[in-house]
Amino acid sequence: MFAGCHEGLAPASASPTVSSYGIRGVITFKNWPPADSVHDLRLGILQNYPVQDIPNEVLQGHARFTDRLPYGLDSVSYTLMLAPLPPGRFPFVGVAQQFGPNIQTDWRVVGIYYAGGDTTKPGAVDIPPDSVVPSININVDFQHLPPQP
């Protein structure tokens, strides 16, 4: 009777061509700073790298992040599903810390995924459909931060 033809919102993965894919691994931590300087801590994956404006990449939907990572642990395992981003090559995986109160500007990279022992540049990850790529491991040493992108 009333506008029944609309169905409203639907899951982003409702399309039959989209399936479960992502990355998983372990993050190890050393030399934690005081808790009041860790406002937030997340693992993120970028579709494009390098980029000039990471917040804009996020707003444009070209990145995915985990939930907030817990403070003070020696290591934590994670799984990050990437939908609605399409599968493919992701050139950057890293851990970012919000070190100050300003949620828009007070961020820095504290750990980067490197592939094949090459620590000169971030390691790219190829993620096929229907696959969660394992062993995307990252070491975070808060006293020895990687080069900032």
Residues that bind other proteins (CB under 8 A): 1-4, 6-14, 35, 39-40, 42, 55, 58-59, 65, 67-68, 83-84, 98, 100-104, 106
| Residue among 31 and 105 whose Cβ is closer to other proteins | 105
To other proteins, the closest distance from the beta carbon of 36 in angstroms equals: 8
| Residue among 101 and 116 whose Cβ is closer to other proteins | 101
| Residue among 9 and 117 whose Cβ is closer to other proteins | 9
104 Cβ contact list (under 8 Å, min separation 6): 55
| Residue among 60 and 119 whose Cβ is closer to other proteins | 60
129 Cβ contact list (under 8 Å, min separation 6): 19, 21, 87
Estimate to the nearest angstrom the gap between the alpha carbon of 82 and the chain centroid: 9
Structure tokens at 23: 């990355």
62 Cβ contact list (under 8 Å, min separation 6): 46, 47, 48, 85
